[in-house]
Amino acid sequence: MSQHQAPQPFEPYIPDNTKLPEFTLRAVLTGAILGMVFGASSLYLVLKVGLTVSASIPVAVISLALFRGLSKLGVRDSSILENNITQTAGSAGESIAFGVGVTMPAIFILGFDLELTRVMLVAILGGLLGILMMIPLRRTHIVEDHGKLKYPEGTACAAVLKAGANARDRAVASPSAQADMRAAEAAGLGNAPGAIQIFTGFGIGLVYKTLNVAMRGWQDIPQKIFGKPLAGGSISAEVSPELLGVGYIIGPRISGIMCAGGALSYLVLIPLIKFFGDGINGIVEPGTIPISEMPIEGANSIRDAYILYIGAGAVASAGIISMVQAMPAIWRGIKAGFADIRGMPRPGENAPGKNGSTARTQRDLPMKTVFIGILALIAVISLAPSLHMNVLGALLIVLFGFLFVTVSSRITGEIGSTSNPVSGMTVATLLFTCLVFLIVGWTGSQYYVTALSVGAIVCIAASNGGTTSQDLKTGFLLGATPRSQQLAILIGAFAAALVLGPLLSLLNNGSTVYVPVAQVAPAGIQVDVSALSRKESLHGPQSRDDSGVYYTWHNTDPKAGIEGKYLVNEKGVAVWFVDPGINGSFDTRPDGSKVRKFVAPKATLMSYIIKGILDQRLPWALVLLGVMITVTLQLSFIPALAFAVGVYLPLSSTTPILAGGMIRWLIDRWMSRKSSHANLTPEQFNAESDKSPGVLLSSGYIAGGAIGGIVFAVLAGFFPGADNAIATWAQNHNPLYNGPHAGLLSLIPFALLAIFLYGVAREWFLSPRKK
């Protein structure tokens, strides 16, 4: 048995024997609502670029501003512990959204229907599993390893809440906290955060998105296509506020590496394929038309046929390598987790409080709740019809859930959530699950959803486990009651789970294109309808032209036509190919109207893994090329996962992220020269930078831009006539949207957006700090 040194006594901001309002209805309700809002924006973001950013600090700042504003109307101001509960419940939405967005869209990509009950169950079960597994781990990771595991986002969030504490909170703060406050004030740090940056960013992002996307004020993706000798190459940028904000928050290094991956795809690989492919007669698999016939006007044909598989191989191998690199932390976390499960005493566990009772700051939900909850999870997972699961799948989920929640919490504590390889854990889970299915002979398409559900629940559990540990770290620093936080996370996760399924379905349906079968299978497709039972009609704008009801049929034979879902009439003739809004290939409806597809890079990778192993028809040559790219990067000591994601994503998505990262680089250089920051350690500097005005404005950009994108995507599906009329007018009369210099002119609004971000970060505008 390993020996544990007793940690130095830690005194939280609010002492253990101090009673303040904490788990109140208004705190929980506000957190749940904010969690739904940030969950929706995070889902939109993960469908576009495969990543999210932490919602903890934005939710904390909004909570402070909201309750502080209500206090001026005569309502009691919230305590620091109430604000912590709001932040805890609200942050759950982002973590659940990441897990859902990484996995569940694969159902569309595999050609199946999305059942809302399945998404809701997966989200709730995954969130519950992550929280239950973190209850015994809190004592090890948060209490015992305080000072060893930094939890950078959780520490920064605690700093924000301390800075926004009201007079009552400050009056009852511990002596050490009051000394820290005096030292921070003397150094010019610790000022109360201004929510004006977040709300202003939200408003600007929403207005920008309205003018850009809804009103077609200017091109949203200006592009430059190259001719010979770089035929097929192109550069482009999606000039959106949410991607600019993402780049600022993740910083210059990761954003630069991501954009480098996109440059490799669009400026090297695609031109190479075009150069050599033009001289080849016939089709090069897995393409469906000769490379010489693929249009040079856009890179999507070559990208869809070849680059996606290269990117998938790069992302999968990079995720596995990141797991291998994290093995020391994984092993430490596993040992600590089993030690806690065995009930080994830990320093600080059940520390006595008043009258000999358990200290308030050490009260977790009881271990009996953990075991009963896990047994209930196994029963629900095995019996729920919508999951198509069995006892083997349920046991795999619990096993992988415990393993990867432990890993996620440990890695988040060491290096933060940005570098937490949750998608790599999901890849590992799917690989092992699919191999088990292959061994036992479960290789039919009916097992696709079963394998995906295993990976989805584990992914959500790991994602929520990392977020939960960040929140518990914040609460530990503030002096919160762990049991209250654990309940708040449960409520926040449940609230987010209610909205993510319907939202995912709406976004997909709004961009779904029903393609005439003659366009994808000129010889036609005949199906035996006696074996079909499920029927449905068209959804969205095209339902106005065809109100018929059809059988649904899923094609898994590429020789018969494009794999996926078809609508078949009573005579067995396939009429429509259903191209999903998420990762679909067709962006033009029969009436000529355009739609914007969601890339969903991580979900597409999951679908490739499932089909590749269970069907054994993955183009391994292209996948292995991606693996070799990852190996080359690792040998060059470059973080491969960020680069691999860049290879997979459209270059248009990573260029605005790079712009945001470069602004962050300029601001961090400026901050490092300030006298108040000159003597800070790297950890202290990062904590200050992570709660700076630029980060808050970027969070507003992300929320406003993403919410705007969701609203307009849904409205375009419900009101196609108005959307087409606006598009037609812009096409004919707006030089910023369709003109000889439209691409360059479209960069002007984006440049203004970036300049304003730089000015706010430099504290020229909207600064609450007094000079």
Q: How confident is the model over 573-598, as pLDDT tens digits?
A: 999 999 988 888 888 888 777 788 88
- pLDDT value at residue 401: 84
CA–CA gap between residue 458 and residue 129 (Å, rounded): 8
Most confident of 16-30, 191-205, 392-406, 691-705: 16-30
Backbone angles phi, psi at 388, to 5 degrees: 55, 45
Whether residue 485 is predicted with pLDDT greater than 90 in this model: the reply is: yes
The four Cα atoms 428, 429, 433, 434 give a dihedral, to 10 degrees, of -50
The four Cα atoms 257, 258, 261, 266 give a dihedral, to 10 degrees, of -130
CA–CA gap between residue 64 and residue 198 (Å, rounded): 12
User: Chain-wide mean pLDDT for the chain?
Assistant: 82
Residue for token pair 């203004």: 752
Q: Is 494:124 a contact under the CB 8 Å cutoff?
A: yes
Closest CA to 410 of 317, 351, 350, 325: 325
- pLDDT value at residue 664: 94
Which stretches within 673-733 are classed as H helix? 682-690, 693-718, 720-733
Most confident of 188-197, 289-298, 583-592: 583-592
CA–CA gap between residue 351 and residue 79 (Å, rounded): 24
CA–CA gap between residue 475 and residue 13 (Å, rounded): 10
Write the single-letter amino acid at 5: Q
Residues whose CB falls within 8 Å of the CB of residue 263, separated by 6 or more in sequence, listed in order: 646, 651
Residue with the bigger pLDDT between 703 and 420: it is 703
Least confident range of 75-79, 136-140, 238-242: 136-140
- pLDDT value at residue 345: 42
Neighbours of 189 (CB within 10 A): 16
pLDDT, tens digit, 9 for 90 and up, residues 336-372 = 555 555 554 444 444 444 444 668 888 888 878 888 8
Mean pLDDT value across residues 258-265:
92
The Cα-based distances of 735 to 211, 283, 687, 732 in angstroms read 14, 39, 45, 8
The Cα-based distances of 558 to 288, 442, 515, 563, 693 in angstroms read 10, 21, 17, 6, 52
DSSP for 361-414, please give it: GG-PPPHHHHHHHHHHHHHHHHH-GGGT--HHHHHHHHHHHHHHHHHHHHHHHH
In the chain, pLDDT over 70 holds for what percent of residues? 88
CA–CA gap between residue 581 and residue 515 (Å, rounded): 12
Whether residue 192 is predicted with pLDDT greater than 60 in this model: the reply is: no
For residue 333, what are the β-bridge partners? none
Q: Residue 754: enclosing H or E segment and its boundaries?
A: helix 747-761
CA–CA gap between residue 140 and residue 314 (Å, rounded): 35
- pLDDT value at residue 492: 92
The confidence band for 331, taking pLDDT boundaries of 50, 70 and 90, is: low
Q: Which two tokens stand for residue 26?
A: 């208004």
CA–CA gap between residue 351 and residue 579 (Å, rounded): 59
- pLDDT value at residue 263: 94
Output the CA angle 211-744-695, nearest 5 degrees.
Answer: 60
CA–CA gap between residue 160 and residue 396 (Å, rounded): 39
**DSSP state, residue 526:** B
CA–CA gap between residue 615 and residue 443 (Å, rounded): 7
Residue with the bigger pLDDT between 539 and 270: it is 270
- pLDDT value at residue 586: 86
Q: Is 151 left (phi over 0), alpha (psi -120 to 50) or beta?
A: left
CA–CA gap between residue 560 and residue 565 (Å, rounded): 12
SS3 readout for 111-154: CCCCCHHHHHHHHHHHHHHHHHHHHHHHHHHHHHCECCECCHHH
Whether residue 641 is predicted with pLDDT greater than 80 in this model: the reply is: no
Sort strands 549-555 and 564-568 into parallel, antiparallel or unpaired.
antiparallel
SS3 readout for 67-110: HHHHHCCCCCCCCHHHHHHHHHHHHHHHHHHHHHHHHCCHHHHC
DSSP for 203-270, please give it: HHHHHHHIIIIIS--S-SS-EEE--TTSTT-EEE----HHHHHHHHHH-HHHHHHHHHHHHHIIIIIH
3-state secondary structure of 27: helix
Cis peptide before 516 (omega within 30 of 0): no
pLDDT, tens digit, 9 for 90 and up, residues 82-132 = 999 999 999 888 889 888 988 888 888 887 777 888 888 888 999 899 888
The confidence band for 756, taking pLDDT boundaries of 50, 70 and 90, is: very high
Write the single-letter amino acid at 272: L
Euclidean distance between the first and the last CA atom of the chain, given in angstroms as a whole number: 56
3-state secondary structure of 588: strand
- pLDDT value at residue 83: 92
For residue 577, what are the β-bridge partners? 515, 566
**DSSP state, residue 144:** I
Q: Is 500:118 a contact under the CB 8 Å cutoff?
A: no
3-state secondary structure of 591: coil
DSSP for 479-523, please give it: T--HHHHHHHHHHHHHHHHHHHHHHHHHHHHHT-EEEEHHHH-TT
Q: Is 149:415 a contact under the CB 8 Å cutoff?
A: no
3-state secondary structure of 566: strand
Output the CA angle 441-443-445, nearest 5 degrees.
Answer: 150
- pLDDT value at residue 332: 61
CA–CA gap between residue 662 and residue 669 (Å, rounded): 11
Whether residue 235 is predicted with pLDDT greater than 80 in this model: the reply is: yes
Q: Is 81:158 a contact under the CB 8 Å cutoff?
A: no
pLDDT, tens digit, 9 for 90 and up, residues 29-75 = 999 999 998 888 889 888 887 777 778 888 888 888 889 888 888 88
The Cα-based distances of 96 to 4, 105, 110, 168, 323 in angstroms read 34, 14, 22, 34, 21
In whole angstroms, what separates CA 581 from the centre of its chain? 18
CA–CA gap between residue 254 and residue 268 (Å, rounded): 21
- pLDDT value at residue 522: 82
CA–CA gap between residue 669 and residue 677 (Å, rounded): 11
Q: Count of alpha carbons within 13 Å of 677, Cβ hemisphere only?
A: 18
Q: Is 658:756 a contact under the CB 8 Å cutoff?
A: no
